[in-house]
Amino acid sequence: AGHPVLKETVSSRIGPANAEAREKEIVISVNDFDDTAYYVQSKGDSLTVFVAMQNFDALLQYGVESYLKHVYGSDQFALNLSSSTVKEMTFNFSLTVDLAFDYGSEAEAVAEKVSCLKRNVLASPFMWYFDAMKAGKAAEGTIKIPFRQNEAMYLKKGKDDTAIVVFSVRFPEKTDWVVAQVFLREFADARNDSGLQLAPAVSYSKTAPMELDGLSVEDGEGVCFISFVLFKRHWDTKVESSVTAICQFRNYLHYHIKCSKAYMHMRMRRRVDDLLATLARARPAAEAAVEKKTWGGRTCAK
């Protein structure tokens, strides 16, 4: 769930064993999915990660501050939710980590926690809403989580202790939607497998589901809506793993679409090469030149 560059950077500098590595100052700029950018700065015994995310300010109303303080509330973390400008770029918040502290066997877990900054921001509205459902105080309406430009996640309480998550996903290319249908059909039919009866129910369509009636939703030819019905076991006892899977679903889907298209292109190129080789073998060999002479004794080649 975390960013591998962030995790590797923290792992290589954390704890007393890496004191020598911390003597060298580092500055790293790296991007992530969902239009997220990181700026990492480490000098001495501290490391600061600046984070810029789409629509971060709009997510603050859904418990982002309280959840981040819960996750990064120990004395070894310093969370700053104020925006700051670094290298002429504006970042929404930052996290500073004490690298000199001896974390012992928890060092890798700390590195993983730092690498999951984006995941924890996107998870905050879900954790906030599911806590309200547990307390019986969940709002009846639908909340919108705008995590990308022109795309969003919607969350609403369903019937019989269910929660409904709807993705609006934009496919800029028609071929992407054709390939996506194959994957989404497998998701929708997954519960027919006896071993996957406990999986969330999945449905998809080109039109907005009834849960989004009355809302201003994304539209256009390339927009698709994917719905997940989470049962109580998903948002109660297995909430952390469920939320992680939800936050990664959009990237998971597009990753497999691109891999499938790349595989089909490889197959097509291989097929063309085979056909060209077959045509080359079917071409008749050129006849050898025949030398002939005229009555006058001159030679001509035919």
Torsions phi, psi of 103, nearest 5?
Answer: -85, -10
Is the pLDDT confidence value at 287 over 70?
no
pLDDT in tens, 11-70: 999 999 999 999 999 999 999 988 899 999 998 999 999 999 999 999 999 999 999 999
CA 84/CA 41 separation, integer angstroms: 14
Q: How is residue 141 annotated by DSSP?
A: S
Torsions phi, psi of 240, nearest 5?
Answer: -65, -50
- Report CA torsion sign: 237, 139, 81, 91: positive
Is the pLDDT confidence value at 117 over 60?
yes
Q: Is there a contact between 42 and 9 (Cβ–Cβ < 8 Å)?
A: yes
Is the pLDDT confidence value at 286 over 70?
no
pLDDT in tens, 64-87: 999 999 999 999 999 999 999 998
CA 234/CA 220 separation, integer angstroms: 32
Question: The tokens of 260 are what?
Answer: 């499938």
pLDDT in tens, 166-197: 999 999 888 898 899 988 988 888 878 877 87
Mean pLDDT of 123-143: 90
Question: What is the pTM for the complete model shown?
Answer: 0.85
pLDDT-above-90 percentage for the chain: 66
Is the pLDDT confidence value at 301 over 70?
no
Tell me the pLDDT of the chain averaged across its residues. Answer: 90
